[in-house]
Amino acid sequence: MQPGLKSQQNEELSTKYLCGLTANLLINNGWMMVTAESCTGGMMAAACTDLPGSSTWFERGFVCYSNASKTEMLGVDVALIDTFGAVSEPVARAMALGALAHAHAQVAIAVTGVAGPGGGSADKPVGTVWFGFTLGQSVSTEAKQFAGDRAAVRHATVRHALARVAELIRAKERA
């Protein structure tokens, strides 16, 4: 086996497991999900739609890589991007809310980050990712710092987003 192949296979299995878990939770609640992706460039939507039957729980995905696309597709206020930067809590929140507003879904995931290798700063080093989650009217955000190269940051972002939305759905079910 080639070096790194086992790790890649484990990541793929983990992503597939998390997609399946999220799918089951969404189906059990009769909910649809939408994604708004910047640094992952559609990887989350691709992972979700790799599952057969995903049309029963995955409504759509927005790839909003440029700042203009965040504004045009999701309605993110230009002033938020100008004031806080594209990789920020207010923008992740606005992306999640905008995705939900532009879809027929009850759950949204938004990600915006610095995947690298360039583009980082002292305040937002490479690996910084902001997440936005909406479940109905409830909105939450969080930042994570991931290590590794561009591919590692992007894959970790997808896995974390799916794991976290599953946690949030479970918490809502218990409430």
DSSP E strand boundaries for the chain:
33-37, 58-63, 107-113, 128-135, 138-145
In the chain, % helix, strand, coil (3-state, to 5) comes to: 50, 20, 30
pLDDT score recorded for residue 7: 55
What superfamily does domain 22-174 belong to in CATH?
A: CinA-like (3.90.950.20)
Q: What is the pLDDT of residues 107-121, one digit of tens each?
A: 999 999 999 998 988
CA contacts within 13 A on the Cβ side of 66: 4
For residue range 88-105, list pLDDT tens digits in order.
999 999 999 999 999 999
DSSP assignment of 81-128, as one string?
A: HHHH-SSSHHHHHHHHHHHHHTSS-SEEEEEEE--SSS---SSS-TTE
Mean pLDDT on 53-73: 98
Sheet holding 128-135, edge to edge: 58-63, 33-37, 107-113, 128-135, 138-145
- The predicted model gives 75-99 an average pLDDT of 98
Contact in structure between 104 and 121 (CB atoms under 8 Å): no
- Separation between Cα atoms, residue 89 and residue 131, nearest integer Å: 8
Q: Which amino acid is located at 84 in the chain?
A: F
Q: What is the mean pLDDT of the chain?
A: 93
Look up residue 154 and give its DSSP letter.
H
pLDDT at 1 over 50: no
Domain boundaries, the chain: 22-174
pLDDT at 4 over 60: no
| Residue 74: how many other CB atoms lie within 10 Å | 22
Q: Is the pLDDT of residue 12 over 80?
A: no
